[in-house]
Amino acid sequence: MEFEFWWLLGIPVFFGLGWIAARVDINQLLSESRTLPRGYFKGLNFLLNEQPDKAIDAFIEIVKLDPETVELHFALGNLFRRRGETERAIRVHQNLLARPDLPAEHHGHALYELGQDYLKAGLLDRAEESFNRLIDTQYSAQAGRALLEIYQREKEWERAISAAEILQATGAGGRQREIAQFYCELAADELVRTNTEAAMALLEKALAADRKSVRATMLMGDALRAQGDIEGALETWRRVEHQSVPHTALVAQRLMDGYVAVGRVQEGINLLRAYLAEAPSIDLLEVVFKAVLEVDGVDAANLLVSDELRRTPTLLALDKFLEARMMNAPQTARSELSVVKTLVHGYTQKLARYQCSHCGFKARQFYWQCPGCSRWETYPPRRTEELNVMN
């Protein structure tokens, strides 16, 4: 292919066309930027410099001058809500909803944001009303999750079950564990009222939703015990080991009391010692220690604690070890051991906590629902120090 000199004439032509296109884009950008209020850029600058108070003031001025700025209303409402100024956030979103010219897509968004404002403010009835209006819209899944949260806060477990089942059916994630927990909550209320038959029916539904629900199994055993069926209760409580061996620590005292009631104490001790060998736990050790002390005496209890301390060297185990040593120590040694135990015990009180694996909230007692983040089954059945040693 031969080179033609006239092709060189095309270079300045293409250069000129590119220059013209760039000028058009720049002019368009400048034109659009001039239509934005100066306060908009001031607000953005304040946000970038982490000065939310000044940013809010700047945005408020824009909204006053130009009430048509819908997206800015949303941004302003979210800023108010995050700062805890829920009344101002509610007013912003109510003003949006009051506009007759608000497009449908913005109307749903504003209604959802208003529901979140009410939820943050603790106005659950108004929040529920807002979210119910969003069912069968593009915000249906978000509204369903918010309604589920409301029903849990209000402890309306039947409505929570219905909301969770709807979410699950629409493909918004599995809710089997939560549904089982809601049935357990209803069953626990029935047990308090001594309605054992109703409780057992609810627990069957809980186990149908989640066959691995330890709580449902434990409550089922409680219902059988309340009916006087100790053997049935023992058989039920023993199912926990097939669901989760570490959770046997939570049912250990129930099992021991049951075996004492039917006169098979040694069988109960042997069972719990087997659990302890498979899943070390200070709570389980406490139950076994008391039973061995009563049945086999101080020396056997001492040996049990010594072996456990060697296997799982924790301060919690050391505290129990010192308690055992004090029982048959001479009077002079006992006073010295008492001082050491007091110091160790004081420190172990800070370690003897359960900790949520999601938010880190610590508590003395075991919770099925975390008081901090409201999530279900986030507490491992071991104390924090034991978990640290295992890790």
Instruction: Please state the CATH superfamily assignment of the domain spanning residues 67-172 in this structure.
Output: Tetratricopeptide repeat domain (1.25.40.10)
Domain spans of the chain, in order of start: 67-172
Chain mean pLDDT for the chain: 79
Average pLDDT over residues 95-119: 84
The Cα–Cα gap between 147 and 129 comes to: 9
Burial (CB < 10 A; 0-12, 13-18, 19+), residue 172, is: middle
User: For 57-82, how does the pLDDT look when each residue is reduced to its tens digit (9 = 90+)?
Assistant: 555 555 444 445 677 777 777 877 88
- Assign 118 to helix, strand or coil: helix
Element of type H or E holding 301: helix 298-311
Quickly state the pLDDT bin for 391 (edges 50, 70, 90).
Answer: low
Single-letter code of the amino acid located at 157 = W
- Assign 354 to helix, strand or coil: strand
Contact between 217 and 243 under an 8 Å Cβ cutoff? The reply is yes
The Cα–Cα gap between 5 and 315 comes to: 91
Known binding residues: 356, 359, 370, 373
User: For 38-54, how does the pLDDT look when each residue is reduced to its tens digit (9 = 90+)?
Assistant: 544 455 555 445 565 56
The Cα–Cα gap between 121 and 115 comes to: 10
The Cα–Cα gap between 71 and 217 comes to: 51
For residue 264, what pLDDT is reported?
Answer: 95
Instruction: Copy the structure tokens of residue 82.
Output: 């995050």
How many other CB atoms sit within 10 Å of the CB of residue 361? 18
For residue 89, what pLDDT is reported?
Answer: 85
Known binding residues for Fe cation: 356, 359, 370, 373
